[in-house]
Amino acid sequence: MADSPSVTFAADIRSGSKAESSMSSFESFQFQRAGSRIGTPAGVARVSTRRSASERFGSLCDLRDEAARFVYINDAERTSAPPARLPDNSVHTTKYSVLTFIPRNLYEQFHRVAYVYFLILAALNQVPQLGVFSPAASILPLAFVLGVTAVKDAYEDWRRHLSDKTENSRTASVLVGGVFRPKRWKDIQVGEVVRVVANETLPCDIVLLSTSDPTGVAYVQTINLDGESNLKTRYAKLETIPTPPEALAGVIKCEKPNRNIYGFLATVDLDGRRAVSLGPSNIVLRGCELKNTTWAIGVAVYTGRDTKVMLNSSGAPSKRSRLETHMNREIIVLAVVLVLLCSIVSLLTGIWLGDHSDEFGVIPYFRKRDFSSNDPDGTYKWYGASAQVAFTFMMGVIQFQVMIPIALIISMELVRVGQAYFMVQDKHMFDGKRQAKFQCRALNINEDLGQIKYVFSDKTGTLTKNRMEFRCASVHGGDFSDTDGGDGHSVTEEDGVVLRPKTAVKTDPKLVALLKDGAGAKADSARDFFLTLATCNTIVPIVIDGGTADPGVRLVEYQGESPDEQALVYAAAAYGYTLVERTSGHIIIDVFGTRQRYEVLGLHEFDSDRKRMSVIIGCPDKTVMLFVKGADSSMFGVIDKTINSDLVQATEKHLHSYSSLGLRTLVIGMRELSQAEFQEWQMAYEKASTALLGRGNLLRGVAANIERNLRLLGASGIEDKLQDGVPEAIEKLRQAGIKVWVLTGDKQETAISIGYSCKLLTREMTQIVINSHSRDSCTKSLDDAISMVDKFQSFSTDSQARVPLALIIDGNSLVYIFDTDREEKLFEVAIACDVVLCCRVAPLQKAGIVDLIKKRTSDMTLAIGDGANDVSMIQMADVGIGISGQEGRQAVMASDFAMGQFRFLVPLLLVHGHWNYQRMGYMILYNFYRNATFVFMLFWYVLYTGFTLTTAITEWSSVLYSVIYTAVPTIVVAILDKDLGRRTLLKYPQLYGAGQCEENYNLRLFIFIMMDSVWQSLAIFFIPYLAYRKSVIDGASLGDLWTLSVVILVNIHLAMDVIRWNWITHAAIWGSIVATWICVMIIDSIPIMPGFWAIYKVMGTGLFWALLLAVTVAGMIPHFAAKAFKEYFTPSDIQIAREMEKWQDTHDVTHPEVQMSTVVRV
């Protein structure tokens, strides 16, 4: 991070350290070089420039006093004094307390408009003139739904509370009164000095003051922070190491808390001395573990909620599913129907009141004369006919309120939880190598997985393993790609123990011979080439005891943040340049059995702006060398091409060849620094690193100024192998009608080669390449692409014979396109192509490509990636998936779902996505149908009771209908039912198109089920009405018959649509009918209820049972007929596949989910 420097000094490192004592053993080796000799420089500097300004979240601005935090070492009271008032180290991930739970939870729940709607209705029902239900009955449905959600939220928060309590009660060693004493984590304050021992977890963010290593180096593991298991090096400043912690005093001026876990900008002033800069290599964050270091001491700078891990603990961004958005359209239609029904009742009420206005004095329901009063003109509270019409409208809204299903929202939440459980438990999406299950981080978009049309994928770490393997090298114009030379070199220790790199690398015998015995410029370049690979990195060598069965052999594991660096260092070791030790000030390399010590005088880490990394090394022969490695696009701009133009051309040719094979390439260069050049650089760096304003830009200028006029050494080719099953997975997705776009930062040749390997590109495709270096050429290329697309579309009228097209575009062209507002033309070309491959794209460009599709189509988009550079793309897409791979957990933390392999996308979309969409679509429509049937039945009754909004159904049955009587079956079916089996869905990926075409939920189906509900309500009401209209049956008995009829009918309707039965489904559907019967009997057994004993009387007649059967048969005839007609005469693909599933032999259906072969099939 260019804004976050750190500096150490070689003279101080050497003095008084054990490293000095070993110096003499390396001085005997004289590495002959041409050039001048200078004394060992006094300055050692480390410049960290890992991320560009566009990628940082914190450390973006200069460190001004008003934007800084002042931490007084060993003085927590002064540090936290007003106006600072810094928080303690306790963490609270809970949302509620005992006092705030009820009000805050209700406030959050009432953000749903539907809940506000039902609350208003419940309040209106409390008005005497509008009282359709009793107060308790009107509140029960809403209270039930709120209560269930509150219990769920309370349980989740209680678990968070227990976790917080455990975390806050842990103890750490804190300096108190000059002695380190145990102290609970939650009591640690900013400014206190903390001591951590090996394998302990850090309680807060600390700036290192000293470590058990004399040079101040500490090794930490950040797996709890970002998921990376490789060790990272952190350093204490040399100015703080000699002073005992109890005697240390000073002030740290650091940036205010921010979320950037990779950035830190600060200075430390020790008792009036000059300010020393602090950077990300000097801070260790809460949650990290100390490894391979006996102890480390640091001062707390961020505690509690201010720590970076807590600032990054927010969940994934909230997204709404497409199905839920469409559902609102139908809810609006139902609201219009509700208003229409109430308006009809109110209009008819007004007409009736007008016709009987002269009878109001004696009509019982409307009687306005009070004959019990002594006053002959006494009346009841009569507000007039107009007011009565208005009251009728509002009472109608209360009576018919279930037209908008209150239970649907919580039913959808429960169903999504059930669906997520089965996705997480799916063994076909379990990553055995990492022992990682599928993660469902966002529960509200499960059904969107069944409607994806575009997949935007990263390449490195997503399609590939991100486990690099060194394959070939171009050295001094020569190509060395023959790997028949064995597994490389081993190192023998003084005690006879053999050190062997953990990862073997095949070597080229010619290159090995050149390194050992060669002479001349080519041999010197080869030695400098591998010396660069061994030194220009941040790799930490770790010797593993007991790693082999042979006690005389130990393994050396190279750990670092970059898999590319690991592969290069393993390659250097295989060719005889073995990195065996690293400290903050020096590294030791075994060169074919001879150990050499190199002083690390400066290090410019890789960043995405410069796209290169450099190290300044003090060699054993007292020369100072600058070694640089980086991308060819940045390196050839700083290479001195006048030295040997033929060498540059040969290297460029080899780079093109390596890229065509799908290899990742790096260019290696170097130059010798004179004493004057080094001292100039050192002075410029010290000035830049201590600047309070513009430090980041100054440091970037220093790095760019030294990295120039390099001598080209060669280039490397690293293979990043495809993940298992990627070609087959992409083929399945394409067969399912899903367009796969790959967005990568790699070179065009590398991306195209990988495209062929993973079956993204085929030989039959016509490639449209847009690779421009100016606005005009980009505009012309885009116009030519549109012409080509139009030409091919005019030639290919038959979709089956259409020539497949592939668009290949680079990042520079995208910059010109987005800057000149030509996105519309790019969109026209892109959607006409079967494949889009974007090369050399920046993170924000990835998000821009996703947004290009989202803004201009209604198709669902999915983005999948594994690194921090994929976060913006993942958050932009409708569905974001993070791969828990080698690049940390930033993508996972920003995603909606997370998994271990790209191939898991096939069962996730084609199986679970299809099931989730089909189930959720049916459940929403069924809820609409179920409630509409009940409301229409009530409406028919109102038409025969003088439009008075009385009802024969008891108020408790009315409010329990959608909450208890019919809720469980639809939830169970939406979780467990499957229209097709897994093997069928994987064998025929085209079946996924049902979700893309919205076959399971659309306006046509909604209209159909509403028509069905009208018919069934007519059957439920009029068949019993016609049978009993001349009898003396009471209203309560008739109401019980209607209640049982509607519950039986809607459950039979559901049962007819169930495809796969199991005992849970049987228990839910038939148990719901039994439970309704029991509830009706209990209600009618209560003497104070108006229908006391009614059900027992009516059940004793044969007509009652005959009517139940007649209602069921008559009500189901249209649904059964329509279902039979559609399946036999106009079956869908899914229905045809279902019939194949029924009758086809199971052995013929067997088909692997994703074949585990990465062989390219052309």
Lowest mean pLDDT among 46-55, 396-405, 570-579, 1069-1078: 46-55
Mean pLDDT, residues 842-863 taken together:
89
Please name which of 525, 533, 517 lies closest in space to residue 644, comparing C-alpha atoms. 525
Give yes or no for residue 114 having a pLDDT over 80.
no
Q: Tokens 């209705």 identify what position?
A: 121
What pLDDT is recorded for position 377?
Answer: 59
DSSP, collapsed to helix, strand or coil, labels residue 263 as coil
Distances (CA, A) of 1072 to 149, 315, 972, 1044, 1049: 22, 38, 11, 11, 12
- pLDDT of res. 346: 92
Check residue 47 and give its pLDDT.
Answer: 40
Considering only residues 13 and 107, tell me which one the structure prediction assigns the higher pLDDT. 107
Write the CB contacts of 562 (distance below 8 Å, at least 6 apart in sequence).
537, 538, 606
CA distance 318 to 316: 6
Q: Which percentage of the chain shows pLDDT scores above 90? A: 36
Q: How confident is the model at residue 720 (pLDDT cuts 50, 70, 90)?
A: confident
Q: What is the mean pLDDT of residues 309-337?
A: 78
What is the residue whose two structure tokens read 């997370």? 898
pLDDT category at 495 given cuts 50, 70, 90 is low
User: In whole numbers, what is the pLDDT of the chain averaged over residues?
Assistant: 83
Q: What percent of the chain has pLDDT over 70?
A: 86
Say whether pLDDT at 859 is over 80.
yes
Q: By the 8 A CB rule, do 294 and 198 touch?
A: yes
The predicted pLDDT at position 25 comes to 32
Q: What's the pLDDT score for residue 175?
A: 94
Question: pLDDT grade, residue 57 (50/70/90)?
Answer: very low
pLDDT at residue 850 is higher than 60: yes
Q: Tens digits of per-residue pLDDT, 1089-1134? A: 887 888 888 888 999 999 999 999 999 999 999 999 988 888 888 8
What confidence category does residue 774 fall into, taking pLDDT thresholds of 50, 70 and 90?
confident
Q: Which of 598-602, 673-677, 841-845 is predicted with the least confidence, judged by mean pLDDT? A: 841-845
> What band does 33 get if pLDDT is binned at 50, 70 and 90?
very low
Q: Is 377 among the residues known to form the active site? A: no
CA dihedral sign of residues 1037, 1039, 1040, 1041: positive
Check if the beta carbon of residue 262 is closer than 8 Å to that of residue 606.
no
Average pLDDT of the residues in 704-714: 92
Q: Taking phi first (over 0 means left), then psi (-120 to 50 degrees means alpha), and beta for anything else, what does residue 1122 get?
A: alpha
Averaged pLDDT, 362-371:
59
Give the start-end residues of each E strand in 164-239: 171-176, 179-184, 193-197, 205-211, 217-221, 231-235
**Is residue 194 within 8 Å of residue 203, measured between CB atoms?**
yes
pLDDT digits (tens, 9 = 90+) for 454-491: 999 988 778 888 778 898 999 999 999 887 766 667 77
CB contact set of 1061 (below 8 Å; sequence gap of 6+): none
Q: Residues with Cβ < 8 Å from 494, sequence gap 6 or more?
A: none
Question: In the predicted model, is pLDDT for residue 88 greater than 80?
Answer: yes
| pLDDT of 570 higher than 70 | yes
Which backbone phi and psi does 725 adopt, to 5 degrees? 80, 5
pLDDT score recorded for residue 28: 32
Confirm if 213 and 315 have CB atoms less than 8 A apart. no
Residue 309: pLDDT over 90: no
* Tens of pLDDT, residues 623-675: 999 999 998 888 998 998 888 888 999 999 999 888 888 788 899 999 999 99
Question: What pLDDT is recorded for position 36?
Answer: 33
Q: Given pLDDT bands bounded at 50, 70 and 90, which one contains residue 224? A: low
Residue 220 pLDDT exceeds 60: yes
Q: Is the pLDDT of residue 564 over 80?
A: yes
pLDDT bracket for residue 7 (50, 70, 90): very low
pLDDT recorded at residue 696 = 67
Predicted local confidence at residue 845, as pLDDT:
85
- Return d(Cα 613, Cα 232) in angstroms, integer: 17
Would you place residue 229 in the very low, low, confident or very high pLDDT band (cuts 50, 70, 90)?
low
Contact 1080, 1040 (CB under 8 A): yes
Residue 1156 binned pLDDT confidence (cut-offs 50, 70, 90): very low
Supply the DSSP symbol for 770: E
pLDDT at 775 over 50: yes
- The whole-number pLDDT of residue 642 equals 83
Q: How confident is the model at residue 368 (pLDDT cuts 50, 70, 90)?
A: low
For 836-840, 1044-1048, 1144-1148, which range has the lowest pLDDT when averaged over its residues?
1144-1148
- Gap between the Cα atoms of 139 and 122, Å rounded: 6
Between 515 and 152, the higher pLDDT residue:
515
Collapsed DSSP state (helix, strand, coil) of residue 665 = strand
pLDDT of residue 777: 86
Active-site residue identified among 458, 866, 1012, 1040: 458
The amino acid at residue 118 is F
Is the pLDDT assigned to residue 10 strictly greater than 50?
no
Give the burial class of 942: count Cβ atoms within 10 A of its Cβ; 0-12 exposed, 13-18 middle, 19 or more buried.
buried
* Backbone phi, psi, residue 373, to 5°: -85, 145
Cis amide bond preceding 83, omega within 30: yes
pLDDT digits (tens, 9 = 90+) for 987-1006: 999 999 998 988 889 899 99
Check residue 17 and give its pLDDT: 34
Whether 801 and 841 have beta carbons less than 8 Å apart is answered as: no
What average pLDDT score do residues 884-913 get? 83
Q: What is the pTM of this model?
A: 0.75
Lowest mean pLDDT among 132-146, 852-866, 903-917: 132-146
470 bridge partner residues? 718
**Cα separation of 1104 and 1100, whole Å?**
8
What confidence score (pLDDT) does residue 360 get? 67
pLDDT band at 32 (very low <50, low <70, confident <90, very high): very low
Closest CA to 196 of 186, 332, 185, 187: 185
Longest dimension (CA), the chain: 131
Does residue 812 contact residue 773 with C-beta atoms inside 8 Å? yes
In three-state secondary structure terms, 174 is strand
Q: Spell out the long-range contacts of 357-362 with Cβ–Cβ below 8 A and sequence spacing 24 or more.
A: 357/385
Burial of 799 (0-12, 13-18, 19+ CB in 10 A): exposed
